[in-house]
Chain A
Amino acid sequence: MFKKLIQKSRIKSPWLLHYDCSSCNGCDIETLACLTPVYDIERFGIINVGNPMHADMLLVTGTVNHRNKKVLANLYDQMPYPKIVIAIGSCALSGGIFREAYNVVGGVDKVIAVDVYVPGCPPKPEAIIDSVVLGLQKINQWQKEEISHAAGSGPGQSGYINRRSR
């Protein structure tokens, strides 16, 4: 029964971490617009947190370059399982109009596994909220199929990760 409660609560309380990989700020403005009274995503228990260790979903905007790919991977590693990655905007999907630039690695999926892609330049806030819902459906599916994305499959084999040892 407690397992079911946890499964339900995961759907009811996704905490977001927003990381801007050298975006032009278009996608960031649209992402943060979801928090305003117009869209008010706190209705669904969604909170925009600043700390990767508290986050359940990673929202990435902008192109990944050689400078920030380490930061992106670090943020991803700090998040405890289960976690979802959402790439927002053309740049995060493929590198967008910057994909030919010498310093650009490409989309977010070149560095970390992406679960939901949101196309658009920039995407609408409604599309971003939809992507979070898709991410939640994915978590739900994992739970139904009992795929263990919890401790044991990830980098922390024993369940405890000692950050200093990395």
Chain B
Amino acid sequence: MTRTLITIIAALLAGPLLGGLALGLDRILTARLQSRIGPPLLQPFYDVIKLWGKEKIVVNIWQAFCAYCYVAANSIALVLFFLQSDLLLILFILAVGAVFLVVGALASTSPFSQIGAHRELLQILTYEPLLILVTMGIYLETGSFKITTVMAWDRPLLIKLPFLFVVLGYALTIKLRKSPFDLSTSHHAHQELVKGLLTDYSGPFLALIELGHWYEVVLLLGLCSLFWATNPAAMVVLVIGTYMAEILIDNVTARLNWRWMLGYIWAMGLTLSTLNLIWLYVS
């Protein structure tokens, strides 16, 4: 019981801490890639704390409700991940959070917010099947959706599921709001669609959304780490490698339209997943 409580508290703290640091690192590396110096490592924390201290303005009361639900869903998903629960359950809770974010944006009448929300729905449509296929692959290999089984598995999953790891990379690029798939709102391009999905969230509610996003980032990077769960050092190396690759992709690619995103990701993602699943089934 005490152990469970400690794990829950660790998850609730690890989300903001690791997520904030990861995004701070992202901003520094992006600046260096653009031959700038970049902000301090703790900049995301300053931003969120500053936003928390600003005046509360809501366009519609549902926005505030949706912002709280988004944080709640994402933190619950991360807590379940730390408790080594069911992968499918975690993904469904994460999807609930994503939908609340969209509902909040749709509650405002701002055209930027509306366009952002519709694009976010398309993004959800694009990555959700891929995430489910990745968990299906994990199930076919280990025979269980439980993270406990995955952690206890004696071979790294990456050896049997290399294509599915690439597919997870696609979903990660969309989820982290990175180019070329940062259609609804972009991490670095603040002028783009006037922040799209987040246009009408402001002050403390924007801080909440940012906090929720940190939980999400930690959870998804955790999901990547499961692919080499036999060795803690390898888990860390795999996560850092994937994250660096994401930052590089973000900086070397331009934004694409949603048709291209949906067509390319579904064609490539579904083909790669099917290949990997057939391989698993046959061997």
Contact = CB atoms under 8 A, between A and B. Distances in A.
Contact of A80 (B35, B57, B191): B57
A117 to B, nearest CB: 25
A142 to B, nearest CB: 12
Given A13-B46, A42-B36, A42-B39, A50 B57 contact: no
B55 A81 contact: yes
B16 to A, nearest CB: 14
Given A45-B43, A154-B55, A12 B38 contact: no
Interface residues of A, number: 35
Interface stretch (A105-113, A121-129, A158-166): A158-166
A84 B173 CA distance: 36
Contact of A50 (B35, B37, B47, B194): B194
A73 interface: no
Interface in B196-214: 198-203, 206
Interface in B42-62: 43, 45-47, 49-50, 52-59
Contacts, number: 106
Contacts of B206: 54
B283 interface: no
Contact of A150 (B34, B39, B55): B55
A149 B59 CA distance: 21
B38 A51 contact: no
Interface in B147-205: 190-192, 194-195, 198-203
B59 A13 contact: no
Given A43-B37, A50-B191, A159-B55, A9 B199 contact: no
B9 interface: no
B39 A45 contact: yes
B55 A45 contact: no
B31 interface: yes
Contacts of A162: 58-59
A119 B228 CA distance: 60
Interface string A78-109: 00111000000000000000000000000000
B143 interface: no
A163 to B, nearest CB: 5
30 contacts: A6-B49, A6-B50, A12-B40, A12-B43, A12-B46, A13-B50, A37-B35, A40-B36, A42-B31, A42-B36, A42-B39, A43-B39, A44-B39, A45-B40, A45-B43, A49-B190, A50-B190, A51-B199, A53-B200, A53-B201, A53-B202, A54-B206, A56-B50, A80-B203, A150-B55, A154-B55, A156-B56, A162-B58, A162-B59, A164-B59
Interface of B: 27, 31, 34-40, 43, 45-47, 49-50, 52-59, 109, 190-192, 194-195, 198-203, 206
Closest 9 CB pairs of A and B: A6-B53, A53-B202, A80-B55, A50-B191, A9-B49, A9-B50, A12-B46, A9-B46, A81-B55
